[in-house]
């Protein structure tokens, strides 16, 4: 769910930026990579913590 939300807000911010300025400003590769990877990284870390410390 987080990945879908992050990708959606990047798309909306890019569209708004294009609409008002005519070019992409502030939406660069870092934003896109973060939107796609942060949720996956959290999932991997959560699985590791559960394995180490036991499930809730």
What is the rounded (10 degree) CA torsion for 37, 40, 46, 51?
A: -130
What's the angle, vertex CA 14, arms to CA 11 and CA 40, rounded to 5?
A: 40
Confidence of residue 2 (pLDDT cuts 50, 70, 90): confident
Give this prediction's pTM: 0.60
3-state SS assignment for residue 43: helix
Residue 10: which pLDDT band, with cuts at 50, 70 and 90?
Answer: confident
Q: What is the pLDDT of residue 19?
A: 93
| Torsion from C-alpha of 38, 33, 3, 7, nearest 10 degrees | 150
34, 25 contact by CB (below 8 A): no
Tell me which residue range forms the domain holding 14.
2-53
Q: Count up the domains in the chain and report the number.
A: 1
What are the pLDDT digits (tens) for 14-52?
899 999 999 888 878 888 888 888 888 988 999 999 998
Instruction: Note the pLDDT of residue 56.
Output: 59
Helices 2-21 and 29-53: crossing angle, nearest 10°?
A: 170
């Amino acid at each position: 769910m987080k990945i879908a939300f992050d990708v959606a807000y990047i798309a909306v911010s890019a569209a708004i930026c294009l609409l008002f300025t005519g070019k992409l400003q502030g939406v660069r590769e870092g934003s896109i990579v973060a939107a796609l990877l942060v949720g996956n990284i959290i999932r991997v870390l959560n699985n590791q913590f559960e394995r180490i410390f036991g499930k809730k």
